[in-house]
Amino acid sequence: MKTLIVALQKDGKLISSSLELIEAAKSLGGEILTAILAEHAEQLASELASRGGGKVLAVSDARLKYFNDELYTRVIGELIEKYNPDVVLGTATFYGKALFSRLAAAIGGPMASDAVKIALEGDQLVVTRPHYGGAVLSDLVNNDGKPFFVTLRPKVYPESKDGSGEVVTETVSAVGSETRMTVKEVKSEAGGTVNLTEADVIVSAGRGLKGAEHLGMVKELASVLGGAFGASRAIVDASWTEYANQVGQTGKTVNPKLYIAIGISGAIQHIVGMRSSGTIVAVNKDKDAPIFSIANYGIVGDAFEIVPALTKKFKEELGA
């Protein structure tokens, strides 16, 4: 089994789910290659090598500074042609999904997105992925002969801490190819310090907060816990917060260790985006709210009393 991992960087730093891909690839055994594209990829490649990324293919160019799915597809495609992997592994983040669907179409290989497990049965790779909002899990195998393109849901595998590897500097002609789109600049959204899909803790707010002016207390709780702020679609649609924070069917799928839902009813479209979280805590003044059916801990009460009390308690406990 030869696995090519596509590691991604943002602002010249590895995104942590790239290191989770190495851990997943290690579980398959066999040969591991890792591709990293950046303006200056060598430093990142060294880190990947020291985490067990195997043969780390470093492609450096100013045009690779920012994610550009058209250009990245061509560059990775050239590496796939050169190294001929059995499986190409990426992360099921916004960028990872955009890249892998293009890659699979360009190379003509099968694609499994948002996988929650990969394993070898004999010499066959079996990829497990959810359907119907997680109600059904299916096992997929590749009978195609082409590389199997798989994106893994973040936070399912731990980050690889160590291992061996070597850095190989690659010269890829596709870097110079003409593209229809050029990314000149990327501006981070204000406020969001912790990436939602990579967060270990998420505190989300819903319509129970009554208005945008009350979201500050939820954000404060998230910040005290070192977590990210999430939102239901109802409050995104009401323009209380940005779409980037939305969790659910038409927002982000998240998988933190701890998910705290505040003033969120628990509509199925919200639940499908967060139900695989490690521990779910719900705060809602309606004891019959559907969110309690999937919560590990439920607090029936008024968010305007509970949230400040939780924040105060966590501040005391954590010394924050």
Please list, residue by residue across 232-248, b when 16 or more beta carbons sit within 10 angstroms of its beta carbon and e when fewer do. bbbbbeeebbeebbbbb
* Cβ closest to ligand FAD, residue 59 vs residue 299: 299
Cβ distance to ligand FAD smaller for residue 109 or 273: 273
Contact letters (x/-) for ligand FAD, 268-297, by CB under 6 A? Answer: -xx--x---------xxxx--x--------
Question: Minimum CB separation from ligand FAD for residue 130, in Å?
Answer: 15
Q: Report, in Å, the least distance between residue 230 CB and ligand FAD.
A: 9
Residues near 186 by beta carbon (within 8 Å), at least 6 away in sequence: 66, 67
Residue closer to ligand FAD (CB basis): 139 or 286 = 286
Of the residues 107, 194, 267, 294, which one makes contact with ligand FAD according to CB under 6 A: 267
The footprint of ligand FAD on this chain (CB under 6 A) covers a number of residues equal to: 28
Pairwise CA distance, residues 229 & 212, whole Å: 13
In this structure, which long-range contacts are made by residues 190-194, counting pairs with CB atoms below 8 Å and at least 24 apart in sequence?
191/219, 191/229, 192/228, 192/229, 192/244, 192/245, 193/223, 193/228, 194/222, 194/226, 194/227, 194/228
Supply the minimum distance, in Å, between the C-beta of residue 196 and ligand FAD: 12
C-alpha to C-alpha distance for 18 and 93, rounded to whole angstroms = 10
In the list 265, 276, 277, 311, the residue contacting ligand FAD (rule: CB under 6 A) is 265
Q: Which residue's CB comes closest to ligand FAD?
A: 248
Footprint of ligand FAD on residues 192-231 (CB under 6 A)? 206-208
Number of other CB atoms surrounding residue 127 within 10 Å: 25
Rounded Cα distance, 150 and 109, in Å: 10
Find the shortest distance in angstroms from Cβ 281 to ligand FAD.
13
Alpha-carbon distance 160 to 227, whole Å?
Answer: 22
Instruction: Produce one character per residue of 259-273: b if its CB has 16 or more CB atoms within 10 Å, e if not.
Output: bbbbbbbbbeebbbb
Q: Which is nearer to ligand FAD, 46 or 269 (CB)?
A: 269
Q: Are strands 54-60 and 31-38 parallel, antiparallel or unpaired?
A: parallel
The residue among 43 and 269 lying less far from ligand FAD, judged by its C-beta, is: 269
The number of angstroms, rounded, from the C-alpha of 203 to the middle of its chain's C-alpha atoms is: 17
Nearer to ligand FAD, 41 or 282 (CB): 282
CA-CA distance, 168 to 58, in Å (whole number)?
A: 6
Give residue for tokens 């439920």. Answer: 298
Cβ 224 to ligand FAD, closest distance in Å?
19
Q: Does 311 bind ligand FAD (CB under 6 A)?
A: no
Amino acid sitting at position 2: K
Q: Which is nearer to ligand FAD, 163 or 301 (CB)?
A: 301
CB of 235 to ligand FAD, least distance (A): 6
Site for ligand FAD in 229-248 (CB under 6 A): 232-235, 246-248
Direct distance between the N- and C-terminal alpha carbons of the chain, in angstroms, rounded to an integer: 47
263 binds ligand FAD (CB under 6 A): yes
Residue 249 binds ligand FAD (CB under 6 A): yes
Residues that bind ligand FAD (CB under 6 A): 206-208, 232-235, 246-251, 263-265, 267, 269-270, 273, 283-286, 289, 302-304
